[in-house]
Amino acid sequence: MAHRGGLAHEYRRARGGPAVITLRHVTVDCRDAAVLAAFWSAALDRPVDEGANPYYASIGIGFRSRQPAWLFLQVPEPKTAKNRMHVDFSTDERGAEVQRLVALGASTHGEHDEYGVRWTVLADPEGNEFCVGGPSST
């Protein structure tokens, strides 16, 4: 982990300052935008925005929030491989949160305990991986 911080420090020094970008949206390609948005709405406890349909749905567009908005866009091709990027969530109640997400339609794909963090790899109803982590039990 120290290596990553070192690279970031070198980049900031070369650039002359901290990053000036902000994460605004998490965009998910999917088969049915409204259905997948409904899952993530329940998972995030945030309402789906008006106008959701099978082609496009969103959560949090137009609202000032510290959390990014979520966009769901229908694409013709199915998901065929592991995500190259995924979202990590943290909680002090990892076990209970994983059970809640599974009850909503997520599936579990493994548990890990490294670097002082214990996390569970899950997938949403369309197979998009995400993780829920919390303090390690050791």
Task: Show contacts of 123-129: CB within 8 Å, 24+ apart.
Answer: 124/36, 124/39, 124/40, 124/43, 125/35, 125/36, 125/39, 126/30, 126/31, 126/36, 126/79, 127/79, 128/28, 128/30, 128/79, 128/83, 128/86, 129/82, 129/83, 129/86
Domains of the chain: 24-76 (3.30.720), 86-138 (3.10.180.10)
d(CA 96, CA 22): 30
Residue-level pLDDT, tens digit, the chain, 138 residues: 444 455 555 656 666 677 788 889 999 999 999 999 999 999 999 999 999 999 999 999 987 778 899 999 999 998 888 888 999 999 999 999 999 999 999 999 999 999 888 999 999 999 999 999 988 764
Q: Look up the pTM and report it.
A: 0.82
